[in-house]
Amino acid sequence: MSTQVLPKRHKRFTGKRVSLTISAWTMGFLFFAPYLQMILTALKSQEEITAIPSTYLPKKWAFSNFTGVWKEIPLATYLKSSFIISISATLIVIVIAIPAAYYVARNNFRGKKAFLLLVLVTQMFAPTALVVGIFREIVAFKLVDTYLALILIYAAFNMAFSIWILSSFFASIPKEVEEAAWIDGCSRFTTLTKIVLPLALPGLVTAFIFTFIAAWNEFVIALTLTSSPEHEPLTVGLTALIGQYQVQWNYLFAGSLIAIVPVVILFALIEKWLVGGLTAGSVK
């Protein structure tokens, strides 16, 4: 933070520039404020949280909450469930979306328009809207309270975004690159894995991270389809703590932060491609 870049010479250090900087920083602060409050609460002891008058900053910084939380709530189990579900859904999405996106980007075929419409419409549909139908289907499949149910649902609902973003990355790779590889005797499959996929790496990373985060953060379906603490992901497990008659906010937020921080960092990495991907339907 100390190595702040000085404004460029030709930009005058005017009052306007100062007020611009101040308003931008204030705005940034406002958006971060609820999470700052989360952090500060996670660093207070239980007694301090319910003390009146309360203080903004912890009097004694209770860093021990971040170690204690693992014993207070089954955080390790929740994290494990969230991770298994999210990574499995993401891998399914990637394996299925790559060939579909590649074919769509490279070929014209009968039904292409219908396929793209299907993809676009499902991109718009959140599982929340269909939760009643999803529940009945999963009951019929006898998959209630299993990882598999969540994995399949998350994979299906995130397929569309990955197909969009990957196909736009594939389409941007010149055909000649691939043709050269074919002439050198590479099969279509080797060309895809050795030539095309490395070139589309940013797209792959974006699809991967976006799907992972969507699955990691999902709530409604997990709330509906899981019923045992062993299968509940973080979002459901942590909120279950709020209903209890005395909420242990410090542990609740320590747990939440452990879940949020890695995801925010991943998200920041792919931010510049997300907007394009999410609004891709309007550009195509």
Partner 1 sequence: MSGRTMNKSRLGALPWIAPAIIMIAVFVVWPAFEMIRTSFQNVGATGQSKGWAGFDNYHTLLQNPDLKNVLIRTFIWVVGVVFFTMIISLPVAQLLNANYPGRKVVRWSIIVPWAASLVMTSTAWKWILDAYYGVLNEIAIDLHLRKESIDWLADTKQSFIWLMVVAVFVSIPFTSFVILAGLSTIPNDIKEASHVDGATSWKSYRHITFPLLKPSLFVAAVINLINVFNSFPIIWVITQGGPGYETDTTTTLAYKISFRDQDVGQSAAMAAVNFVIILVFIGLFLKASKNQEQN
Please choose, out of 62-70, 72-80, 197-205, 234-242, the segment that lies near partner 1 by the rule CB under 8 A. Answer: 234-242
Residue 124 in contact with partner 1, rule: CB under 8 A: yes
Task: Decide: is 137 part of the binding site for partner 1 (CB under 8 A).
Answer: yes
283 touching partner 1, by CB under 8 A:
yes
Contact 40, 240 (CB under 8 A): no
The answer to whether 225 contacts partner 1 (rule: CB under 8 A) is no
With CB under 8 A as the rule, give the number of residues binding partner 1: 104
Contact pick of 2, 9, 34, 67 for partner 1 (by CB under 8 A): 34
The verdict on 20 binding partner 1 (CB under 8 A) reads: yes
Q: Rule CB under 8 A: is residue 43 a binding residue for partner 1?
A: no
Closest CB to partner 1 among residues 120, 199: 120
For the bound state, the minimum distance from the C-beta of residue 227 to partner 1, rounded and expressed in Å, comes to 11
Question: Whose Cβ is closer to partner 1: residue 68's or residue 276's?
Answer: 276
Q: Which is nearer to partner 1, 124 or 198 (CB)?
A: 124
The site string for partner 1 over 196-215 (x = CB under 8 A, - otherwise) reads -----------------x--
User: With CB under 8 A as the contact rule, which of the stretches 62-70, 71-79, 149-157, 193-201 interacts with partner 1?
Assistant: 149-157
Contact yes or no for 152/225 (Cβ under 8 A): no
User: DSSP string covering the chain, please?
Assistant: --SPPPPPTTS---HHHHHHHHHHHHHHHHHHHHHHHHHHHHTS-HHHHT-SS--SS-SS--TTHHHHHHHHS-HHHHHHHHHHHHHHHHHHHHHHHHHHHHHHHH---TTHHHHHHHHHHHHH--GGGGHHHHHHHHHHTT-TT-HHHHHHHHHHHHHHHHHHHHHHHHHTS-HHHHHHHHHTT--HHHIIIIIIHHHTHHHHHHHHHHHHHHHHH--HHHHHH--STTT--HHHHHHHHHHSSS--HHHHHHHHHHHHHHHHHHHHHHHHHHHHHHTHHHH-
Binders of partner 1 among residues 257 to 276 (CB under 8 A) are 259-260, 263-264, 266-268, 271, 274-276
User: Within 50-109, which residues bind partner 1 (CB under 8 A)?
Assistant: 50, 52-54, 56, 92, 96-97, 99-100, 102-104, 107, 109
Angle (CA) 87 265 247, round 5°: 80
CB 263 within 8 A of CB 213: yes
Question: Which position among 60, 71, 113, 284 is part of the footprint of partner 1 (CB under 8 A)?
Answer: 284
**Among residues 62, 85, 155, 165, the one that binds partner 1 under rule CB under 8 A:** 155
φ, ψ of residue 109 in degrees (nearest 5): -145, 160
Q: Per CB under 8 A, does 32 bind partner 1?
A: yes
In the set 75, 134, 173, 200, which binds partner 1 (CB under 8 A)? Answer: 134
Question: Tokens 């320590």 map to which residue?
Answer: 254
- Exactly one of 65, 88, 90, 224 binds partner 1 (CB under 8 A); which one? 224
- Out of 66, 70, 135, 147, the only residue in the binding site for partner 1 (CB under 8 A) is 135
